[in-house]
Each structure stands twice: as C-alpha cells, then as structure tokens.
Structure 1
Amino acid sequence: MTAATGSYLFDNGSAHAAGQHRCLAAWLDPVSVEALRAGGVRPGMRCLDVGTGAGSVALWLAGQVAPGGSVLATDLVPLPVPERPGLVVRRHDVVRDELPEGAFDLVHARLVLSHLPERDAVLARLFAALRPGGVLHLLEFDAEYAPLLTAPDARARQLYERYQQAKLRAFRARGSHQGWGRECADALLRAGFTDVEARARIDLLAPGTPQLEMQLHNTGHLREALLREGLSDDELAELRGLFADPRFLACSNVVYAVRGRRP
C-alpha cells in the first residue's frame, strides 16, 4: 500500500487509538448489540468479527455463543483483548489473507468495508466464509452527512465545515467511500445475500458525548492528513475549543446497521 491510496488513516499503533475505540464502543456497541440480537445470535454459533479493534463486540459475542460456540476476532493490528473462553484474536488482512469457506454462522464487520477500495471483493469473500443460512452483520456510516446545528458564530461554522470536508478528502484519497453506508444494503443484494434488512440512526454531537469526544480524538489522530488537506495546527486547536463550547451542536453521521443471509 502507498500513503496515497489504500492505507488506513486510523492506525491502531497511534497514541489516539485507545481513545478512539473507547468512544466508538460507547457510541456504537449498543447499536451493534441490538442488531446482533435481532439477527438471532445464540449459543453454539461460530462467529467471525472482522476489524475487531479493541474487541468489545467480539467479547460480547463470546459471551452470547457460549457454551459450545467460538469467535475469531481479526484485525490488521489487533489491540490487546481480554481472554475469554472460545475467543481467538488473530492478525489478518481481510483483503489479502484467505478465510475458510463455509465456516461461520455469523460474520460481523463494523466500519471496515467503506474504507477498503476492494470492498466488493471483500464482500464476496465474507459471503463465501458463511455457511448456507449464515448471517452477515455490517455497521457503516454515511459520513457525507454531518450537518452543523448550532455554533457560537460564523467563523466557527466555517471552520467546522472545512474540517468535515478535509476529513472527507483525506479518506477519499485512500480509496474510502465515506457515503457507502447508504449503499451497503444494495451491495449485499448484489452480492447474493437474501433477507436483507437495514436500519438507520442519527445521534447528536454535543459536548460530553462519546460522539463528539471521538471528533476530539480525530483532530489528533488525523492531524497529519488534516494538515495536508489545508487545516493548520492553530485551527485544530480552535476546533478542540469549539467542541467544548456548549453552544456547539451537530448531527452525527448516519449509522446504518445492515444484515443479510447467505442462501
């Protein structure tokens, strides 16, 4: 991979990675758990968690599929995950490394495929990894939707808009499709999945929420990319102050929870 295309901006080796995953878990784990429950997770299932990050969903799954079930949690750079019976954490590149075919009853991937230029090929690989009747659960953003609702003044509004556009450009330069969340249900149908269902959710970015705290981490985690896209360190510091201002309020990205079954 090169820095221009195909590389992932959210490096698990970054000092900001733990904070990012903590915020994502606080925000999105309830959404993921609700979707997995609705999809029928139960004891004895064999599960694959792709892009497991800090492993919060994998840990929950391991508790749900016990006794007799198993969870394989994979990531390019796995973070430390507490040990659980039936849970195995493995370094794995879902784009390049093989997966066993017909091996899993359930596959979960959160905020993974939208970042991969090879997302259609990966979707086909996940389809093949499911046994007939197995279910794929995806959770993805439409990150092209993130309107500002209130701000202290016109400068703050302009700066927040520049920040959002800089992020989008940085991800697009690496082959990420930041609007893929609204397309992934159709992508599942085209990949051969049946019984495809989708739910959408929007939250608020307000001071003190994990949704907005994640943006604080982004100003550090994505600093080099944001600087390349035209922001300055002074403006990033100004954004951090804005995110602590009680007059700031914005909509989150649209969160899509989508699932489909391999016939």
Structure 2
Amino acid sequence: MAGAVRETGSYLFDNGSAHAAGQHRCLAAWLDPVSFGALRAGGVGPGMRCLDVGTGAGSVALWLAERVAPGGSVLATDLVPLPVPVRPGLTVLRHDVVRDELPPGAFDLVHARLVLSHLPEREAVLARLFAALRPGGVLHLLEFDAEYAPVLTVPDERARELYERYQRAKLRAFRARGSHQGWGRECAGALVRAGFTGVEAEVRIGTLAPGTPQLEMQLHNTWHLREALLREGLGEDELAELRGLFADPRFRACSNVVYAVRGRRP
C-alpha cells in the first residue's frame, strides 16, 4: 500500500506514524495471499523486470524479487519508503507516481496495491503505468470497495450505530482528499478504457472478526486516522468504545470487497 495519501500539506496515512508498521503487517497478512495468487496466475517468472508502486513495507516486492531471480529485477517505489530487506535485484526508490517520470516500455510487470483509489489523478496514473509496460507486459491492481461494509452481528444497537458512524466518518475523510473508496468495483472498466486487453478480475470478501488481520487493521485505523476521525465528528470516548467493540467476540462485519484486476498492454 502507498505510504501516504495526499492532502494539502499533510498525509492521511503516513509511514512516519508509529502505527504504520502495524497497518502494513495487517495488510500483508490479509492481502499477500490474494496478491501472490494473482501474480502467479498472471505469469511471473525468472528474468522479468518488475515495478511495485506504493510498496509500503515491501512484502510484495520481496516476493517478486525471489520469483524473478535469476536475471530479473524489481523496482519498489513509494512516497516514503519503509526499510526493506536487501535482496539481489531489488531496488527501493522514493518516487511519486503522479509527478515523477517512469521509463517508457521498461517493465514486464507492474503491481500496485491500494494506490490508485487514493489518487485524484488515478486515470492519468493508469495511463503512465500503461506506458511504462513493454508491449505484452501485465499490470496487476488490487483495490477495495470500502463503501460496502455492512454489520453482521453486534452486542447491541448502540454498537451498530457507532460502527456505522465510524465507517461514514472514514469515507468522508478519504473523499476530502480525493480518494475514491469504491473504485475497486470500477478499476476493471478503467483498465479497458486505458487500452489494456484481456482484463480479468477476481473478487473476494471476508469477515471482520476478533483475531483476523482485517479487524486488526480497523483497530489500527482508530489510532492511525485518529485526527481525521476526530475532525469528522467522532469523539475520543467513541474511538475508545470502538476499540472495545473490535475485541468483542459478538462483533462481526463484512470486510471491504477486494478486487484483484489485471490487464495486458497490447
């Protein structure tokens, strides 16, 4: 996931936060199996040149580096790169995919997870990623539909109402920064419009329950997004109540819908 989401002069998710490492750990535990399965199905192999946009803590970049050896390479980029273990063929670069140049036709495979939905310039970035691929190269995107998140079971109606207010506050905070949290359901169509062929999409949904990385990520969000949630009308006491709710075995909700989408540059 990208290390930061732009707001004028500030970031909503910041890799400098004390909570960033926990967030990336939860995302990796939840989404790496989905990403790795999609990359295998898309044909990753030795000698390939790969670009991992918004690499975060680097779990996908490290996995790719192992699969493209010997002879391949992985360029892992982020606005604020986190420390990533050294691997042969792996380069980590501070890079802004909106503003900084990418070499044209340089990559066999481009991967971006939870990046484009956060960028108001997502359609222009998609065109840049298309241009960075060689003919026949494959783009892999993983995105959420976070607008769909119904509650399944709660201890009481107050808990339901509080969780639903929390979800609405998060969406308002993201929208204020140009993020489209429902873009996952639209990204396959965006790839077609951008000129990609053979576009395929895999859709998954899970359950938020105590002990799952999906719900642990929500717990981290109450800390990581604390300032934004307070600005959107939640109180400190309500955030504390949410943290208690997320530990309650009676709580269940649907996870975000996960879309793993890929397309090929003709």
Of the three residues 16, 19, 26, the one matched with 2:29 is 26
Q: Once the 2 structures are TM-superposed, how far is the Cα of residue 9 of structure 1 from its aligned partner?
A: 1.1
The separation in 1 between residues aligned to 2:6 and 2:105, in whole angstroms, is: 34
Counterpart of 2:40 in structure 1: which amino acid? Answer: R
The separation in 2 between residues aligned to 1:59 and 1:192, in whole angstroms, is: 29
The separation in 2 between residues aligned to 1:8 and 1:255, in whole angstroms, is: 24
Of the three residues 58, 64, 70, the one matched with 2:61 is 58
Change (3 A) 1:247 1:115: same
1:170 is aligned to 2:173: yes
The equivalent of 2:186 in structure 1 is 183
Change (3 A) 1:212 1:57: same
Secondary structure of residue in 1 paired with 2:177? coil
Matched pairs, number: 263
The equivalent of 1:12 in structure 2 is 15
Deviation per CA, 1:125-177: give whole Å up to 9, x if none: 00000000000000000000111000000000000000000000000000000
Counterpart of 2:12 in structure 1: which amino acid? Answer: L
Whether contact under 8 Å (1:6, 1:175) holds in the other structure is no
Whether contact under 8 Å (1:94, 1:122) holds in the other structure is yes
The equivalent of 1:134 in structure 2 is 137
The equivalent of 2:235 in structure 1 is 232
Matches within 5 A, 1:88-103: 88-103=91-106
1:203 is aligned to 2:206: yes
The separation in 2 between residues aligned to 1:17 and 1:35, in whole angstroms, is: 25
Matches within 5 A, 1:31-50: 31-50=34-53
Of the three residues 208, 212, 217, the one matched with 1:214 is 217
Whether contact under 8 Å (2:55, 2:81) holds in the other structure is yes
Of the three residues 76, 80, 88, the one matched with 1:77 is 80
**Gaps spanning 5+ residues in structure 1: where?**
none
The separation in 2 between residues aligned to 1:148 and 1:170, in whole angstroms, is: 20
The separation in 1 between residues aligned to 2:145 and 2:213, in whole angstroms, is: 18
Whether contact under 8 Å (1:8, 1:174) holds in the other structure is no
Deviation per CA, 1:93-115: give whole Å up to 9, x if none: 00000000000000000000000
The equivalent of 1:258 in structure 2 is 261
The equivalent of 2:126 in structure 1 is 123
Runs of 4+ in 1 over 6 A off after TM superposition: none
Whether contact under 8 Å (1:6, 1:116) holds in the other structure is no
**Gaps spanning 5+ residues in structure 2: where?**
none
- TM-score, normalised by the number of residues in structure 1: 0.98
Counterpart of 2:35 in structure 1: which amino acid? Answer: S
The separation in 2 between residues aligned to 1:8 and 1:126, in whole angstroms, is: 23
Counterpart of 2:61 in structure 1: which amino acid? Answer: A
Identity %: 89
Change (3 A) 1:6 1:61: farther
Secondary structure of residue in 2 paired with 1:30? helix
Of the three residues 244, 247, 250, the one matched with 2:250 is 247
C-alpha RMSD over aligned residues: 1.4
Secondary structure of residue in 2 paired with 1:19? helix
